[in-house]
Amino acid sequence: MKNILIIGATGQIGSELTMLLRKNYSGNVVAGYIPGAEPKGELKESGPSAIVDITNPQQIADAVSQYQVDTIYNLAALLSAVAENKPQLAWKIGLGGLFNTLEVAREKHCAVFTPSSIGSFGPGTPKDKTPQDTVQRPKTMYGVTKVSGELLSDYYFTRFGVDTRSVRFPGLISYVTPPGGGTTDYAVDIYYSAAKGEKFVCPIAEGTYMDMMYMPDALRAAVEIMEADPSKLVHRNSFNIASMSFEPNTIYQNIRKYLPEFEMQYQVDPLRQAIAESWPNSLDDTCAREEWGWKPEYDLDAMTQDMLAKLKERFGR
């Protein structure tokens, strides 16, 4: 039995991860949320929830004590494009919030998962098959918080023995949660437009490759890394994980296999394009495969078929 607290449970990853954890484990799986972003529907009805603002360490501690939490999934963060417009808030949530979480975990003996990102790399990083251990000098506040979070999480493991683990998520594509201001979110938007029968205006330039992953694989990675045998973990914070790498025209042409009338045009957003160009084209996830058996299940075509089917059903088309 596990007692788990998800901080940021109503966010892009949190809502789906909370439901998966409730399906997988007996015990309390607590949906932590901030006022104004309350759990709704099945997320609210299927298990306990608590107000947990990551900038308030007492709220974290209270939830951990009340529900006898042994594992914390810390998903609170501003996404890349949003963080560039609100850098002070991004730091407060991303690093200040992580520090609060790790302190509670140290005092109350919890394991902690805090996702990192391909955004933790920068323009000086090798772009193709980016190694597990390489240069990390990001040029965005989102990236700065992610690489700093990796270092802080490793510090709490080596200094205090807190069981910290993490993966570097690529762009995540989901039919459940709408896009939330990430640079890779065009790859979610394009499916929504296609399923609605609308022309898509792409903010990322043709030829811009980025690593992507279908949400079911990402959720499974977040669960599997926390279940991994700690004696086999050479790395902890944070593992490269990979599934597929593509550029806008690749995904467009794949969608047109199933919706030949679908149209796309380009209107490049300079901010998102600059962020995208500073990130890797593809990641080398050999260490994750060797140390805890990571393996993706979805490729681009399988994802496209599933996304279109699920979204068409939602939109009644």
Percent of the chain past pLDDT 70, that is, above it, reads: 98
Higher pLDDT, 186 or 102: 102
d(CA 5, CA 9): 9
d(CA 213, CA 244): 6
* Helix pair 97-108, 141-160: axis angle to 10 deg: 20
pLDDT of residue 27: 86
What rounded mean pLDDT belongs to the chain? Answer: 94
How far, in Å, are 1, 259, 275, 279 from residue 143 at the CA level?
35, 36, 10, 10
79 pLDDT higher than 70: yes
pLDDT of residue 239: 98
Percent of the chain past pLDDT 90, that is, above it, reads: 85
219 pLDDT higher than 70: yes
Model confidence at 177, pLDDT cuts 50, 70, 90, reads confident
Can you read off the two tokens belonging to residue 176? Answer: 């459940």
Could you say which of 25, 33, 67, 142 is catalytic? 142
pLDDT of residue 149: 98
pLDDT of residue 311: 92
User: How much is the average pLDDT of 249-274?
Assistant: 95
pLDDT of residue 176: 87
d(CA 134, CA 157): 21
Q: Give the closest residue to 242 by CA, choosing from 294, 306, 175.
A: 294
pLDDT of residue 153: 98
pLDDT of residue 314: 87
pLDDT of residue 179: 67
Question: How many CB atoms sit inside 10 A of residue 13's CB?
Answer: 23
Catalytic residue check, 142: yes
181 pLDDT higher than 80: no
Quick one: CA dihedral 23, 27, 29, 35, positive or negative? positive
User: How much is the average pLDDT of 173-193?
Assistant: 84
Quick one: CA dihedral 26, 22, 55, 33, positive or negative? negative
Can you read off the two tokens belonging to residue 292? Answer: 């805890």
User: How much is the average pLDDT of 67-76?
Assistant: 97
pLDDT of residue 302: 96
Model confidence at 1, pLDDT cuts 50, 70, 90, reads confident
Helix, strand, or coil here: 239?
A: strand
d(CA 53, CA 68): 18
Q: Supply the DSSP symbol for 75.
A: -
pLDDT of residue 184: 81
Can you read off the two tokens belonging to residue 216? Answer: 């079911």
Residues 268-304 pLDDT 10s? 999 889 888 888 899 999 999 999 999 999 999 999 9
Based on C-alpha coordinates, what's the Rg of the chain?
19
Residue 283 buriedness (CB in 10 A; 0-12 / 13-18 / 19+): buried
Residue 62: CB partners within 8 Å, gap ≥ 6?
A: 50
User: How much is the average pLDDT of 105-115?
Assistant: 98
Model confidence at 248, pLDDT cuts 50, 70, 90, reads very high
pLDDT of residue 7: 98
20 pLDDT higher than 70: yes
